[in-house]
Amino acid sequence: MDKHNGIHWVDAWDSHDPAIDLLWDELVAEVSDIMGQSFPIKHMVKPSGPMKVICHILWHYPTSNAKKTDYGHVMDRSNLSLLVQVTKIGVPQTHWPKVRKLFLDFNYHLLLQAPVSLVVGKHAGKALSELLTKDPPHIVETVSRKGLASKNSRHEFLIIRSSVTRHIQHLVFFTTHGAYALYGASNMSSAIISDVIWNGVGVLSGLEIENTSWFTWRRSRSKMAGTDPYDAAIAVAGYPSLQKAWVAQAAAGYPNLQKAWAANAAAGHLNLQKAWAAQAAAGYPNLQKAWAANAAAGHPNLKKAQAASTAAGYPGLKKSLAV
C-alpha cells in the first residue's frame, strides 16, 4: 500500500489528506451508530489520495482480496482485482439501505471535488446516475460517443453544469472493468474502447498513462503459460484466492470432490474405463515408453529394490518359504 505524508498506522487508517480524514471519521461514526459495536468497522476501506485532485475514479470490486484486510485503502496494490488497472495506470442486510446511502453520498461528495471523474463498472455507473438525478444544483447533459460502440460499455459521457451559471463543473466518463475488457468480452472492441477512454481521461487530467495500449495489446495476445503478465502477477502473489479456496474446501472435507467420486463410482468410472480401453487399443504406449526408458537406464528402481531386499535379508522371500 502506498504511504502518503509519512503517516502510517497499524491499528488505524493511514492519513493521505486531513480533509479526507475529517469526512472519513464522520462516515465511520455514522456507520458505527447504525450497525452497532459488533460490526467490523476496521474492514471498511478508506479512499486513497488527496481530496483536491484533477481526477477521481469510482469503481466497484471486492476489497477483501487484499493482503491488508484491516484498515485498508482503496488503491491497495496487493488486491488482485486491481492488477489489470495497476498495469494500465501504474495504480448485514437489515441496515444496508441506510449504510449504502452514507457510502454513496460520501463518494459522490469526493467525486465532485475533481473536474473529471472516471467511473469503472456498471454498478458504480448506476450509483452515480442515481445520485445525479437527485442533485438539483446541477444540470446533466449526455454526450454520445460516436464511433465508440461496445455492447457492455456506455456510449456517452456526461457534462455537469451549474444550474445557476451553466458553467461546466464536471466531466464524467464511463468504462468497463479492466478484467472484463481482457477476459469477459467476446471481441476486441471493449479492450480498444477501454484504452481510448483511459487515455482520454489521462490527457484531460494532465496525467501520464503508463501503458497507452495495455488493454488492446493484452486482449490480443494468446494466454500462454508463463508469458501472461496478469497470470504472472497472481503467481507472484501466491494465488491468494486459490489458497483461501483450498483451505475452505479442506475444512469442509472437500464436499465437491466427494460428490464427484461418488458420482463416478455410481457410473462405473466411465472415464477411467474409456482411458483403459484407449490405452489397450493403442498398445499401452505410455507403458511401453516407461519400460524402454527404464531398460535404457539399466532398471535403476529394480536395482534399488534388489539392494534394499539384500540388505534386509530378503524378508519377502523368507515369508514365502515360511508359507
Q: Please state, in angstroms and as integers, the Cα–Cα distance from residue 172 to each residue in 51, 76, 152, 299, following that order.
A: 17, 24, 17, 71
What pLDDT is attached to residue 244?
Answer: 73
Q: How far is CA 63 from the centre of its chain?
A: 9
What pLDDT is attached to residue 62?
Answer: 65
CATH number of 18-220: 3.40.470
Residue in the structure block whose three cell numbers are 534386509: 312
Question: Nearest-CA neighbor of 4 among 64, 34, 57, 47?
Answer: 47
**Domain range list for the chain:** 18-220, 247-322
Tell me: the pLDDT tens digits for 153-206?
A: 566 888 988 888 989 988 999 988 877 776 665 567 778 888 889 899 988 888
Residue in the structure block whose three cell numbers are 459495536: 37
Maximum Cα interatomic distance, the chain, rounded to a whole number of Å:
107
Tell me: the pLDDT tens digits for 29-38?
A: 888 888 887 8
What pLDDT is attached to residue 35?
Answer: 82
What pLDDT is attached to residue 147?
Answer: 52
Helical residues (DSSP H) of 11-95, grouped into ranges: 18-35, 83-89
Query: Which SS3 state, helix, strand or coil, does residue 138 take?
Result: strand
Please list the ranges in the chain whose pLDDT falls under 50.
Answer: 1-6, 92-93, 149-151, 222-227
What pLDDT is attached to residue 4?
Answer: 43
Note if the pTM is more than 0.85.
no
What pLDDT is attached to residue 222?
Answer: 44
